[in-house]
C-alpha cells in the first residue's frame, strides 16, 4: 500500500516538474516573440539557447561582486539590453506580459547583487541599461540630462568636457567611476562633495520614468509623491527611470587633494580615529576628510593596523594644510603630501583606478579588479569614546581582510530636512561607517567564515552607533537586515534605511505599483489594497 502511494507521489512530482519546465519554456517563447514584435532585438534567453554566450558574457560583465558568480544563485531567464526609450518601455511590458519578474541593472554595483541575481524561485529577466548612457550637458543653465545606464565616470567626463574654461562645473556624487548613475541616484548618492553640496539625489530637478503599466512620465506627469520617492527611495522599486535631469555645481579651477596613511599601535590608530571624529564633521563645508581603517590597507607600507585619510578641499593646498594644522595636528600633514589639481583630475585621483590612469579612462565602464566582499553600514550620532575605539581597533586587527570606511557628514548634509527626500540621515548625523570584509579566494568554507566574522563584528559595534532604529544606508544594501514580506514585515529593515520616511514610501508604492511588478528582496512592498495611480503618458515628448 505504502509503496503504491510512494510511486504515485514520484509520478506526480515528475509530472509537475515537466509541466513547470514546459510552462517556463512557453513563457520564454512568449517573451522572445513579444520583444521581436516590439522591435527589441538585443536580448538573450537561456532556455531557448538564443544568443546564450552573449547572455553569459553580458550578465557577468556587470557583476561587480564575485560573491554572486556562484551557481547556487538563480540565474536570470533573460537578459535584455534596450537602446532607447521605446525599447525600454517594450522590454518592461513584454516581461510583465510573460510573467517575468524584472531586475533593472545600471552598473551592477548592488552590494547584494539584486540587480542581476535572485534567491527567489520565480523566473526573472535582467533589463540591463548599459546602452542607455547618453549625457547632454547644458552649461548655460548648469544642468544635465543623463540616461540611467551612464556611469558616474562617464557623467563626470561629460561635465568636464562641456564646462567652459572660466566656469568649471562638477556634480556631487560618489567616487567610484564604474558605478551606474541610475542606481546611485535612486539611493541618494553620497560623495566627496556632499558636505558642500549634499547628495546626488538632492540635485535632481526632473526625471523620465516608465511605470509598471508602461506609461512614460516626467516630473509633471508622475506628480510630486512619485518624484519624491525615486530620489533616494532605492532602485528597482518604482519603475524604470529612463533619464534624470540634474543641477550641476560650480567647482574651483584648482582643488587640494591628498591620500595619506598613518600606521602605529592599535592604541595610536584609535587615537587618530578619536581625534578625526571631533574634527571631520565640523570642518568647513569645502573640506571632505574620510578615514579608512584596517590591517591590510593598500596605502600602508608596513604590516599591521593603519589609518588612511583621504582629503578633498575646494581651495588651495596651503589653505588645506593650514586648516588641518590648526584643527587636526595629530595628522601631521606634510606639504609634499598635498597636491593641487583640477576637480576632474581629483575624480581620477580618488577613483581607485590603476596608477597612471587619465581623465579619458573615466569612460571605461569595466571594473578591472573584482573581489568577493560583504558590507554592512551604520551611522554615528554620538561620538565613540576612546576606550571603545581601542576595543574596536583591537578586534578589527584580528581579521586582516576587514576594514572600515568612515565618511564625515555635517555641512550641507545638515541643512536639508530629513523628509525632503527619502534619504533621512541629515542633521545630527556625525558620520557614516561602511564595515567591509573583502577576499579573493573562492571556497564555501572560507566564504562562510568571512560572512560570520563581519556579522559578529557588526553585533559588537551595535552599542556604539545609532539606535532606535539602528540606521543604515540603502546604497550599502545588506540583506542581513531582513528580506521582503508585506509592508508590516518589511518595516524591520525599511525603517533602518528610511527612518520616518518608510510609511510614505509604502503609500507611494501602493499607488504606483500595487501588483509589485518591480520588486527584489529589499524593495518597498505595497499594501494589500491599491488606491490607484493617475499619471499622464508623454512618450512622444521624450526622444532623448
pLDDT of residue 18: 45
Distances (CA, A) of 284 to 91, 182, 323: 47, 30, 9
pLDDT at 12: 45
For 276, the grid coordinates are: 578625526
- Contact 456/434 with Cβ under 8 angstroms? no
Of 65-69, 88-92, 131-135, 333-337, the least confident: 65-69
What would the grid cell of residue 14 be? 515528475
Supply the mean pLDDT for the chain: 92
Residue 111 reports pLDDT greater than 70: yes
* Cβ partners under 8 Å of residue 382, min gap 6: 430
Query: Is 157 or 440 the better-scoring residue by pLDDT?
Result: 157
Span 333-362, mean pLDDT?
97
Report whether pLDDT(51) > 80. no
pLDDT, tens digit, for every residue of 169-182? 999 999 999 999 99
User: Model confidence at 160, in pLDDT bands (50, 70, 90)?
Assistant: very high
Region 119-131 average pLDDT: 88
Q: How confident is the model at residue 365 (pLDDT cuts 50, 70, 90)?
A: very high
What's the gap between Cα 452 and its chain centre?
Answer: 23
Counts for the chain of helices (H) and strands (E), in that order: 14, 18
Q: Is the pLDDT of residue 20 over 50?
A: no
Given the candidates 3.30.43.10, 1.10.238.10, 3.40.50.300, 3.20.20.70, the CATH classification of the domain at 2-128 is 3.30.43.10
Q: 216-251: per-residue pLDDT in tens?
A: 999 999 999 999 999 999 999 999 999 999 999 999
Q: Is the pLDDT of residue 410 over 80?
A: yes
SS3 of 196-257: HHCCCHHHEEEEEEECCCCCEECHHHHHHHHHHHHCCCCCCCCCEEEEEEEECEECCCCEEE
Q: What is the mean pLDDT of residues 472-496?
A: 96
What percent of the residues of the chain are helix, what percent strand, and what percent coil, each to the nearest 5? 40, 20, 40
Question: Between 151 and 5, where is the model more confident?
Answer: 151
Domain ranges of the chain: 2-128, 135-251+483-541, 255-343+368-479
Q: Any idea which of 44-48, 152-156, 391-395 has the lowest mean pLDDT?
A: 44-48
pLDDT at residue 54 is higher than 60: no
Neighbours of 204 (CB within 10 A): 22
Distance separating alpha carbons of residues 96 and 254, to the nearest angstrom: 50
Alpha-helical segments (H) within 305-443 = 317-327, 343-349, 386-396
pLDDT of 535 above 90: no
Rounded mean pLDDT of 171-198? 99
pLDDT above 90 coverage of the chain, percent? 80
Topology of the domain covering 135-251+483-541: 3.30.465
- 3-state SS assignment for residue 170: strand
Separation between Cα atoms, residue 181 and residue 150, nearest integer Å:
6
Nearest to 258 by CA among 318, 205, 211, 215: 318
CATH dotted code for 255-343+368-479: 3.40.462.20
What percent of the chain clears pLDDT 70, i.e. is strictly above it? 90
Checking if the pLDDT of 148 tops 70, the result is: yes
pLDDT at 52: 53
Closest CA to 478 of 273, 214, 234, 220: 234
* pLDDT higher at 445 or 320: 320
Tens of pLDDT, residue by residue over 57-97, are 888 889 899 888 875 666 888 999 999 999 999 999 999 99
Q: Say if residue 467 is exposed, middle or buried (CB neighbours under 10 Å; 0-12, 13-18, 19+).
A: exposed
Q: SS3 of 375, please?
A: strand
Computed on alpha carbons and rounded to an integer, the radius of gyration of the chain in Å comes to 24
Question: Mean pLDDT across the stretch 26-36?
Answer: 91
pLDDT in tens, 517-531: 999 999 999 998 544
| pLDDT above 90 (res 6) | no
Q: Does the CA dihedral 526-529-531-532 come out positive or negative?
A: positive
> CA-based angle 496:146:108, to the nearest 5?
50
**pLDDT at position 379, please?**
99
**Rounded mean pLDDT, 477-503:** 96
Whole-angstrom CA distances from 312 to 11, 283, 287, 341, 405 are: 67, 12, 6, 10, 16
Q: 119 with 73: CB under 8 angstroms?
A: yes
Is residue 521 packed enough to be buried (19+ CB in 10 Å), middle (13-18) or exposed (0-12)? middle
pTM: 0.92
**DSSP-assigned letters across all residues of 124-157:** EEEEE-TT---EEEETTTTEEEEETT-BHHHHHH
Q: Residues 260-287: what's their mean pLDDT?
A: 98
Amino acid at each position: 500500500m505504502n509503496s503504491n502511494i510512494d510511486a504515485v507521489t514520484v509520478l506526480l512530482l515528475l509530472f509537475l516538474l515537466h509541466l513547470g519546465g514546459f510552462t517556463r519554456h512557453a513563457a520564454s517563447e512568449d517573451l522572445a516573440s513579444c520583444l521581436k514584435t516590439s522591435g527589441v532585438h538585443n536580448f538573450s534567453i537561456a532556455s531557448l539557447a538564443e544568443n546564450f554566450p552573449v547572455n553569459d558574457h553580458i550578465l557577468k560583465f556587470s557583476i561587480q561582486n564575485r560573491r554572486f558568480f556562484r551557481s547556487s544563485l538563480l540565474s536570470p531567464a533573460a537578459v535584455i539590453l534596450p537602446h532607447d526609450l521605446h525599447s525600454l518601455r517594450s522590454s518592461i511590458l513584454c516581461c510583465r506580459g510573460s510573467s517575468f519578474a524584472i531586475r533593472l541593472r545600471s552598473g551592477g554595483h548592488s552590494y547584494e547583487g539584486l540587480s542581476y541575481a535572485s534567491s527567489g524561485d520565480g523566473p526573472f529577466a535582467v533589463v540591463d541599461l548599459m546602452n542607455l548612457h547618453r549625457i547632454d550637458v547644458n552649461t548655460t543653465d548648469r544642468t544635465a540630462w543623463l540616461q540611467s545606464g551612464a556611469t558616474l565616470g562617464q557623467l563626470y567626463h561629460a561635465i568636464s568636457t562641456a564646462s567652459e574654461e572660466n566656469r568649471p562645473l562638477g556634480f556631487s556624487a560618489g567616487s567610484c567611476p564604474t558605478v551606474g548613475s541610475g542606481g546611485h541616484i535612486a539611493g541618494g548618492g553620497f560623495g566627496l562633495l556632499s558636505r558642500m553640496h549634499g547628495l546626488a539625489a538632492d540635485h535632481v530637478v526632473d526625471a523620465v520614468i516608465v511605470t509598471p503599466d508602461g506609461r512614460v512620465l516626467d516630473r509633471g506627469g508622475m506628480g510630486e509623491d512619485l518624484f519624491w520617492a525615486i530620489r533616494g527611495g532605492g532602485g528597482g522599486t518604482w519603475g524604470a527611470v529612463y533619464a534624470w535631469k540634474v543641477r550641476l555645481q560650480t567647482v574651483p579651477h584648482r582643488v587640494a587633494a591628498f591620500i595619506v596613511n598613518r600606521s602605529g599601535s592599535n592604541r595610536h590608530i584609535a587615537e587618530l580615529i578619536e581625534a578625526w571624529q571631533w574634527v571631520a564633521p565640523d570642518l568647513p563645508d569645502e573640506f571632505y576628510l574620510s578615514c579608512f581603517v584596517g590591517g591590510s590597507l593598500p596605502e600602508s607600507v608596513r604590516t599591521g593596523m593603519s589609518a588612511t585619510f583621504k582629503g578633498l578641499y575646494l581651495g588651495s593646498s596651503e589653505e588645506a594644510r593650514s586648516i588641518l594644522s590648526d584643527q587636526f595636528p595629530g595628522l601631521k600633514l606634510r606639504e609634499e603630501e598635498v597636491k593641487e589639481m583640477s576637480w576632474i583630475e581629483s575624480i581620477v585621483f580618488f577613483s581607485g583606478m590603476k596608477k597612471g590612469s587619465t581623465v579619458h579612462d573615466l569612460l571605461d565602464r569595466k571594473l578591472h579588479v573584482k573581489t568577493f566582499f560583504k558590507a554592512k553600514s551604520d551611522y554615528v550620532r554620538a561620538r565613540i569614546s576612546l576606550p571603545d575605539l581601542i576595543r574596536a581597533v583591537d578586534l578589527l586587527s584580528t581579521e586582516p581582510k576587514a576594514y572600515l570606511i568612515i565618511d564625515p557628514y555635517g555641512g550641507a548634509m545638515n541643512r536639508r530636512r530629513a523628509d525632503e527626500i527619502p534619504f533621512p540621515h541629515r542633521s545630527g548625523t556625525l558620520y557614516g561607517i561602511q564595515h567591509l570584509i573583502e577576499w579573493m579566494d573562492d571556497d564555501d568554507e572560507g566564504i562562510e567564515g568571512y560572512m560570520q566574522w563581519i556579522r559578529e563584528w557588526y553585533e559588537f559595534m551595535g552599542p556604539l552607533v545609532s539606535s532606535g532604529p539602528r540606521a543604515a544606508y540603502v546604497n550599502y544594501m545588506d540583506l542581513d537586515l531582513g528580506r521582503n514580506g508585506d509592508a508590516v514585515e518589511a518595516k524591520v529593515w525599511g525603517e533602518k534605511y528610511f527612518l520616518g520616511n518608510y510609511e510614505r514610501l509604502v503609500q507611494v508604492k501602493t499607488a504606483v505599483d500595487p501588483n509589485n511588478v518591480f520588486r527584489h528582496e529589499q524593495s518597498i512592498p505595497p499594501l494589500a489594497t491599491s488606491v490607484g495611480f493617475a499619471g499622464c503618458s508623454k512618450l512622444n515628448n521624450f526622444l532623448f
